[in-house]
Amino acid sequence: MNGIHDMGGMHGFGPVPIEENEPLFHADWEARAMALTVVMASWKRWNIDASRYARERIPPREYLNSTYYERWIHALTDQMLEAGLITEQELRTGEPVGGPPNGKAPLDPDGARAMLRRGGPSRRQVDAPPRFRPGDAVRTGNRHPEHHTRLPRYARGKLGEVVLHHGAHVLPDTNAIFQGEQPEHLYAVRFAARELWGPDASPRDTVTLDLWESYLEAR
């Protein structure tokens, strides 16, 4: 979707600040925000792509005025409400009404640690052979879906070169809206900076993006 989250190449936001020796978390509540997001995902009412899509749907003003983990909490709250895991009353009062559906939460602390270590592998097997090989010239589609996609706005309709085939992986576009994993071949595609940003960009710079097969057209 074309939202404020997709700000690659946009002017007016200033340089990206680099914090030396940046800590993993800047405050205790950020660690709790991450832990809560991991534990709630174990209910399996959504997936990682749906979580990303929930963050993308945060209203632009609030998105820009929120920190990284504030966006996580905002999106998680929306997802819990949509899934019926909490009520508006519980959110308003901070007091639980009843308990988990089966009498206990699906994860204890040890289970949460194991889930983090395991991660969420997205590689899958598909019968179809890859359409592209390293060295192939490709052009990205100029598409503007209303839902989640991993094809950035600045890279649409651009000419690039396949440099690596990653195998087949879950397609985020469909997974985010619960239309199935629909795995596709995934490629690393390299673009010249001038192809993306025009003649004012450095002739030496390139950008490499991981892109799914349906995003690409042969050239």
Q: Write the pLDDT tens digit of every residue in 158-168.
A: 999 999 999 99
Tell me what pLDDT residue 3 has.
94
pLDDT above 90 for 93: yes
Tell me what pLDDT residue 100 has.
66
Domain boundaries in the chain?
28-118, 123-218
Looking at every residue in the chain, the average pLDDT score rounds to 93
For the entire predicted model, the pTM comes to 0.91
Tell me what pLDDT residue 113 has.
85
Lowest mean pLDDT of 17-21, 39-43, 55-59, name the range: 39-43
* Model pLDDT for residues 118-131, shown as the tens digit of each residue: 888 999 999 999 99
Per-residue confidence band for 101, with pLDDT thresholds at 50, 70 and 90: low
146 Cβ contact partners less than 8 Å away, ≥ 6 residues apart: 1
Tell me what pLDDT residue 42 has.
87
* Model pLDDT for residues 184-199, shown as the tens digit of each residue: 999 999 999 999 999 9
* Model pLDDT for residues 207-217, shown as the tens digit of each residue: 999 999 999 99
132 Cβ contact partners less than 8 Å away, ≥ 6 residues apart: 138, 162, 165, 185, 187, 213, 216, 218
Per-residue confidence band for 117, with pLDDT thresholds at 50, 70 and 90: confident
Runs of H (alpha helix) within the chain: 28-41, 48-56, 60-64, 68-83, 88-93, 109-118, 172-175, 193-197
Mean pLDDT calculated for residue range 134-141? 98
**Of 145, 141, 140, 142, nearest to 2 (Cα)?**
145
Mean pLDDT calculated for residue range 143-167? 97
Tallying the residues shown for the chain, one arrives at 219
Q: Distances in Å between the alpha carbon of 46 and those of 63, 130, 219? A: 21, 29, 37
User: For the domain bounded by 28-118, which CATH number is listed?
Assistant: 1.10.472.20
- Taking domain 123-218, whether its CATH number is 3.40.50.300 is answered by no
